[in-house]
Structure 1
Amino acid sequence: MDIRGVKNVAPNRNLLKRMGAVLFSLTVIVVSYIVITNASQDARDTVEVLRLTQKGGLPAFTVLTDKQVETYNIIRTEYTSDMVLADKLPDVLGKFTKYYIRDNSVLYEDQLLDEKPVKNEWLYKLDEKQEVLTLPYNFLEAGGDILMPGDRVRIRVSYNVEEAAASGAGGNPNAVFNSSQSSVTKTEILFDSIVIKDMLNANSHSIYEVYKEVLKLSEDKRQEVMRSDDFLKSIQPKALLLEGSGEEINKYAKYKSLDSKSFLITMLSRSGSTVIMDELPTLQNEVESWIEKK
């Protein structure tokens, strides 16, 4: 027997590949078992929360009842601290929805209100010494869609007065003097700086409240409403609601009684002012985009 041929025999490469495949398969099986076991444990570790069951969802400022909510189990890894737990059901009943909530949605703490918000809430914060007056306004002549509630403006009033004019012959005492009435236009500052609290549209509705009502709608419904011509017309101001002192209001009443008068409205710097529409920047941007398309 020639034993030199035995020494030159190479190892079987297919055997090494098979061993590698077996080791890889065992690794996959072990890892899969660990993942499935952990997932099974997570599925058993659940938290009871409240979920909305009202078909079609609930609009803003709707009172919650026990027929509109149910308990719902979610795995603990999906639970967040701002979700409403099932044991808080008695505390939730009777509260108001803050905005539109879709059906089958888990309830969150910040979606609920203890009391229904009032309209024109700024009126409740108005100082007792301050008053609010309504001034007709042409938005094409003063700021257009730039002017917003919270802006400060300066208002001038121009009016005509009759002045007597005399004519005669120099210093001759025997000359006959003639007198006549001539109309003279005067301009004065009515309000040096006054705050716009709100605006009214052609239907005398608060424009700020119109924005707030649209914000309560669902995303799809809101886009549909904002595309309509009626909505664009509803946010065009026809009058300003101005906050002023008693002296300022009296001054306005004095000039309002004049037959020939006109008001000039100019905008002042927003530095130090709180523009109400800054609270709704997303909605404002959407509105501006629709206006541009129109």
Structure 2
Amino acid sequence: MDLSKIKSVSPNRNMFKKTMAVLFSLVVIVGSFYVITNANKDAKDTIQVLRVNQKGGISAYAVLTEKEVETYSIIKKEYTKDMLLAEDLPDVINQYTTYYLRDGSILYRDQLSEERPLKNEWLYQLEEKQELLTLPYNYLEAGGDILTPGDRIRIRVTYEVETTPSASTGNPNAMYQSSKGTTSKTDILFDSIVVKDMLNANSHSIYEVYKEVLKLSEDKRQEVMKSEDFLKSIQPRALLLEGSKEQINTYARYVNLENSSILITILSRQNSEIIVDQLPTLQKEVESWLEKQNSR
């Protein structure tokens, strides 16, 4: 046999590619196995936390009861230190919610308080020398839906006095109109006074109504704001005004005058804290409701 006639055989390139594909597949399989194994390990390494178990959620300032919460397992990687653990259940029962809690949401420490949040907390911040005045208010005649807690207003009072030959005044803001032996006189009652709160037809605080809405989740807030009950609840029938002793004394001198009327105007909101500014869609909803009411 002539060995010189035998051709040398070179490695097959396709074989090299197949070998690399097999090796790559093995790496993918090993990597996937490692990931799945760790995932299974993490899934088994869980922590028991507390979450809301109440259809419709839990409203703000409500007392938390045992039937409104349940234990829920989360993987350890998802746990944060501010979450309430299942072992904390005895400590959280009978505490107060600080704001609205959605059904199914995990409970956090800052969502609960041992003390009931104060209503009308601005009353506790009122200076010792300041006083509150309740003033009847017709929202259709004075600012409509524009006026909200936090606004500053100016109030003028018009009343009648008997005409006398020597009648005169040094008040530059006073205006006169003679009629049948009497004079119609207008004075500035309050040059600038803050609307701290407003009362609706049920004598409930409109400030608190706004606060409750602000604590709701966004979707729930939109639903509530479009309801007729809510829009009625923010229609003021009286104003709560913060004034000094002198301002309140001035009002007392005018309150019992015969044939008197009050004119309310709204001042600039610059440097004022208006709660409605936190609800950008509120004014549109209120205006829409008022248009429907006026068309009836």
TM-score, normalising length from structure 2?
0.79
Q: CA deviation at 1:25?
A: 0.6
| Greater CA drift, 76-85 or 63-72 | 63-72
Unaligned runs of 5+ in 1: 167-179
Unaligned runs of 5+ in 2: 167-178, 290-296
Give CA deviations for 1:32-57 in whole Å, capped at 9, x if unaligned: 12212322332243333223334554
Kindly indicate whether residue 236 of structure 2 is the aligned counterpart of residue 241 of structure 1: no
Name 1:88's counterpart in structure 2.
Answer: 88
Give CA deviations for 1:56-90 in whole Å, capped at 9, x if unaligned: 54333332234443433321211122211233333
Taking structure 1 as reference, are residues 158 and 54 closer, same or farther at Cα in structure 2, changes over 3 Å only? Answer: closer
Q: CA deviation at 1:197?
A: 0.6
Asked if 2 retains the 8 angstrom alpha-carbon contact of 1:164 and 1:181, the reply is no
Once the two structures are aligned, what percentage of the paired residues are identical? 64
Taking structure 1 as reference, are residues 52 and 232 closer, same or farther at Cα in structure 2, changes over 3 Å only? Answer: closer
Name 1:107's counterpart in structure 2.
Answer: 107
Asked if 2 retains the 8 angstrom alpha-carbon contact of 1:165 and 1:182, the reply is no
Name 1:197's counterpart in structure 2.
Answer: 196
**d(CA) in 2 for partners of 1:204, 1:121:** 17
**d(CA) in 2 for partners of 1:255, 1:112:** 48
Give CA deviations for 1:225-280 in whole Å, capped at 9, x if unaligned: 322233223222232110112221121121111112222222233343333445xx
Asked if 1 retains the 8 angstrom alpha-carbon contact of 2:133 and 2:242, the reply is yes
Highest Rg: 1 or 2?
A: 1
- Aligned residues between the structures: 276
Name 2:285's counterpart in structure 1.
Answer: 290
Aligned ranges 1:125-144 → 2 under 5 Å? 125-144=125-144
Question: RMSD between aligned alpha carbons?
Answer: 3.0
**Structure 2 SS opposite 1:31:** helix
**Structure 2 SS opposite 1:154:** strand
Asked if 2 retains the 8 angstrom alpha-carbon contact of 1:200 and 1:206, the reply is yes
Q: CA deviation at 1:117?
A: 2.4
Asked if 1 retains the 8 angstrom alpha-carbon contact of 2:98 and 2:117, the reply is no
Name 1:122's counterpart in structure 2.
Answer: 122
TM-score, normalising length from structure 1?
0.79
Q: CA deviation at 1:157?
A: 1.7
Name 1:254's counterpart in structure 2.
Answer: 253
Name 2:169's counterpart in structure 1.
Answer: none
